[in-house]
Amino acid sequence: MAFTEVCRDATFYSLVHAVLKAERDRVLNNRRTEQRHSFQGLQLVAPFSNGGLPDKSTFRSVQCVDLSANGFSYLSAEAPSSERLVVVFSINPLICLVADAVYSERLDDGEAAMYRVGCQFTGRIEDQELGAALVKTHGQ
């Protein structure tokens, strides 16, 4: 692993640690009705339009933070480009869901800005072939 990749990884994990600490330290007006559970791991998201499923090339890996029965949150270097998203959870079996991005919070630790995005599930996509192809394409 190249030195620059190690530095980027160290910066990313420091940022994740800072985000999680900040979440513990502040009191939020929490709109969630279900208990959140820590859910670490890379998942795939893409902008969704009602015109059809997103192209495989539009999916990107994001670092999930937590998960509930009603939604999930993730960290990303970019704010979501669409209010509605398709998310592929690479668990067995693969689960493809539609979610609305209900908030996006910029987190700035002085080095690299990240966004914590909170999403609410709105539906399920019954296309296991899509999920399998995406996971294979993105190497998860």
Within 10 angstroms of residue 76's Cβ, the number of other Cβ atoms is 16
- Please state the rounded mean pLDDT for residues 1-5: 58
Asked if 44 and 87 count as a contact pair (C-beta separation under 8 A), the reply is: yes
Q: What is the pLDDT of residue 37?
A: 78
Comparing 126 with 81, which gets the higher pLDDT?
A: 81
For residues 38 and 16, the model is more confident at 38
Residue-averaged pLDDT of the chain: 76
Q: How far lies 12's CA from each of 24, 28, 67, 128, in Å?
A: 19, 24, 20, 31
Given this structure, which CATH class describes domain 3-138?
Answer: mainly beta
Question: At residue 4, does pLDDT exceed 90?
Answer: no
- At residue 28, the pLDDT reads 45
Range of lowest pLDDT (34-43, 53-62, 97-106): 34-43
Q: What distance in Å separates the CA atoms of residue 15 and residue 78, rounded to the nearest whole number?
A: 14
Integer Cα distance of 108 and 112 in angstroms: 6
Q: Where is mean pLDDT largest: 1-5, 21-25, 77-81, 115-119?
A: 115-119
Q: Using DSSP, state whether 66 is helix, strand or coil.
A: strand
- In angstroms and rounded to an integer, the radius of gyration of the C-alpha atoms of the chain is 15
48 — phi, psi (to 5°)?
A: -125, 135
For 49-63, write each residue's pLDDT tens digit.
Answer: 776 778 888 889 999
Phi, psi of 4 (to 5 degrees): -65, -35
106: pLDDT strictly greater than 60: yes
pLDDT digits (tens, 9 = 90+) for 62-94: 999 999 989 999 999 888 989 999 998 876 777
C-beta separation of 87 from 101 below 8 A: no
- Closest Cα partner for 59 from 82, 39, 92? 82
